[in-house]
Amino acid sequence: MQEFIDLLREKLVEINEKPKRCKRCLMDETAEGIVFTETGCNYCDEFLKILDNPPKKINLSLEELVNKVKKDGRNKPYDCIVGLSGGVDSSYTLVKVKELGLRPLAVHMDNGWDSELAANNIKNLVENLGVDLYTHVIDWDEYRQLMQAFFDADVIDIELLYDNAMLAVCYQQANKYGLKYILAGTNSSTEGMILPRNWNWFKWDKKNIKNLAKLKRIKIKTFPAIGTLDKIYYEFVKGIKWISFLDYLPSYNKFEALEALQKQFNYKPYPYKHYESVFTRFYQGFILPVKFGVDKRKNHLSTLILTNQMKKEDAIKTLQEIPYPTEQELKDDIEYFLKKMNWTKDDLKDYLQRPEKPHKQYGSEISLWNFFKEIYKKINK
Amino acid sequence: MIKTRIIPVLLMKNRGLYKGIKFKNHKYVGDPINTVRIFNEKEVDELIIFDIEASKANKSIDFDYLKEVVSEAFMPIGYGGGIKSVKDAENLFKIGIEKVILNTHAILNFQLIKELVKNFGSQSVVFSLDYKKTFFNGYKVFIKSGTKKTSYKPEDIASIMEDLGAGEIILNDIDRDGTFNGYNIEMIKEISSNLSIPLIACGGARNLKDFKMAKDAGASACAAGSMFVFHMPHRAVVISYPRYEELKKVLGEN
């Protein structure tokens, strides 16, 4: 296992210490399309603009939004959906939504990689808040095959599977109960910095998922994929709105949220963003840097620097360390990953050495998405 | 350690976990390896895994896969499902299973329990007594994952198994399985009062108070499936296990 850890350390030096870095945030030349400006870079300039004025799906104050959700949900078993991963953002969203007197149905997607932390946090929250929960459990064998197809294809966004399914399940549940609002933990304060195009992939790509499955003759039985046309159907025919709820709060501060969750709900924190799933932390903390040369912490930490939640020197120090609390924890995750995927060490070595291939190579609906986006923009001019 | 053991029960089929109601309508609830890992981190003292298809479909035991599951666990695991011979039990102990749990083949062949006890000792041989109320004849014992009725009454088979040397009996009420209606306290009282070996209550647990009631009725341990897997009312899957302080308090143990 030590050789994998050495490999990660080597790679982190290569991608974090040499490339030219923005003078204000942590974004650097590993980000496609970075332009260094007088004040910083295009990524942080843009982020600050968004932060000043977060783009809201519905242009209302918090109070107005809450009243609207209540009114539209009258006589229904719930008035909104809250997607719940067990992470800080989604957990805090659920707490606030409930505090404001809304009647949410919490929706969780289980892809076979939930950590004990996630299970613990979800259980404590829904129990203490008295919120109903719905879990969509994807058949692990099916999910494992889909992941294997993504690994075999050498595409960067393995998490497209989780993210796409989570979107799908939230819309499906909203539709089932005739609800108009999905209040999500997505937010500008900690997530508003746009990810470089080469760091992940477009999340509504049902075609990409289906094509990769087809290549490996995988039958999709329980995986709830969602694509452009489904999105149009849910959003425009059914009127279901995905709302970045935390942007409506006067000020969302991750550390304050964490403290409140720990105090009130026996919430167990974890060291980095999105570490509620064992695979997600292994993907972000190991696979992305080693195979794809991407250290996502640069993006997350940059948002914390720009919102004055962290000092830049401290963030730079963090980047020099492996994205795991200890080497042992990384070793445990590697072993667990090999066991779950039924891989040998050589399979992992081989995978890490192969060059990346673009998602587009396997067929994608991104151009369809962009086409509709253009039309939408023109109509709304 | 808590004196009254509180044991999660996992039902396995084709390398997936399932949960049903009254031994029927099984719904997929997740991946055994990940679930065992979560229970492991929750510091659960003991775990029971039943393969619900092995005996019913006359399949052989999936030793390779069980080995993978067991290697993820720090706690002792009792396994039941398709155990037909001393050799089967030996292989299970080899891969790290601590207790073998018998139902179908213990009833079809009384000698099997005796031989197992002779080879491995009482403490590692458990009998799972699955029973259900029948239309005309009161409570009867069932085998093959609750699909086949026998002519035995629960109290008779419990005493036979004790005499054969079984170290523990899991008393599983099929009609209460997955219903969140509470344990069958009367049956626990009746069976435990005639037994000198430990009795594990199973079937129907909905909350911590049920554990206390089962304990007071004479159970040495309580097993539960749905309660540790589902959140009501949508039977949403979320793995849970009570904290020690809560258990101690409710069970009145120090």
Give how far A299 is from chain B: nearest CA, Å.
30
From B15, B42, B231, residue closest to A133, measured CB to CB: B231
Interface of A with B in 272-301 (CB under 8 A): 278
Task: Give the whole-angstrom CA distance, residue A241 versus residue A281.
Answer: 29
- Asked if A141 and B16 come within 8 Å (Cβ–Cβ), the reply is yes
DSSP letters for A130-192: T-EEEEEEPPHHHHHHHHHHHHHHT-S-TTHHHHHHHHHHHHHHHHHTT--EEEES--HHHH-
User: In this complex, is the C-beta atom of A336 within 8 Å of any C-beta atom belonging to chain B?
Assistant: yes
The per-residue pLDDT for A271 is 61
Closest CA to A245 of A94, A125, A123, A67: A94
Mean pLDDT, residues A200-210: 96
What is the average pLDDT value for chain A, to the nearest integer?
93
Mean pLDDT, residues A14-33: 93
Among A353-357, A375-379, B191-195, B198-202, the range scoring the smallest mean pLDDT is A375-379
Task: Give the whole-angstrom CA distance, residue A204 versus residue A346.
Answer: 33
A22 and A44 Cβ atoms separated by less than 8 Å? yes
Residues of A in contact with B237 (CB under 8 A): 110, 135, 137
- Asked if B240 and A133 come within 8 Å (Cβ–Cβ), the reply is no
Residues of B in contact with A132 (CB under 8 A): 233-234, 236
B93 and B64 Cβ atoms separated by less than 8 Å? no
Residues of B in contact with A340 (CB under 8 A): 31, 33-34
User: Tokens for B250?
Assistant: 């409710």
Question: What are the tens digits of pLDDT across the range B215-228?
Answer: 999 999 999 999 99
The per-residue pLDDT for A157 is 97
From B29, B233, B240, residue closest to A137, measured CB to CB: B29
The rounded Cα A101 to chain-centroid distance in angstroms is: 27
Question: What are the tens digits of pLDDT across the range A265-322?
Answer: 989 887 665 677 899 999 999 999 999 999 999 999 999 899 888 999 999 999 999 9
Residue A160 scores a pLDDT above 70: yes
- Asked if A135 and B239 come within 8 Å (Cβ–Cβ), the reply is no
What does residue B210 show for φ and ψ, rounded to 5 degrees? -60, -35
Query: Would you tell me the crossing angle of helices B110-120 and B86-94 to the nearest 10 degrees?
Result: 40
- Cα Rg of chain B (Å, integer): 17
A235 vs A272: which has the higher pLDDT: A235
Q: Whole-angstrom distance between the N-terminal and C-terminal Cα of chain B?
A: 10
The per-residue pLDDT for A58 is 83
User: In this complex, is the C-beta atom of A135 within 8 Å of any C-beta atom belonging to chain B?
Assistant: yes
Residue B192 scores a pLDDT above 70: yes
The per-residue pLDDT for A188 is 79
Closest CA to B145 of B102, B188, B183: B102
Residue B61 scores a pLDDT above 80: yes
The per-residue pLDDT for A231 is 96
What ipTM is given for this predicted complex? 0.90
Place of tokens 């508003």: A192
Q: How large a percentage of chain A has pLDDT more than 90?
A: 82
Question: What are the tens digits of pLDDT across the range B11-25?
Answer: 999 999 999 999 999
The per-residue pLDDT for A53 is 79
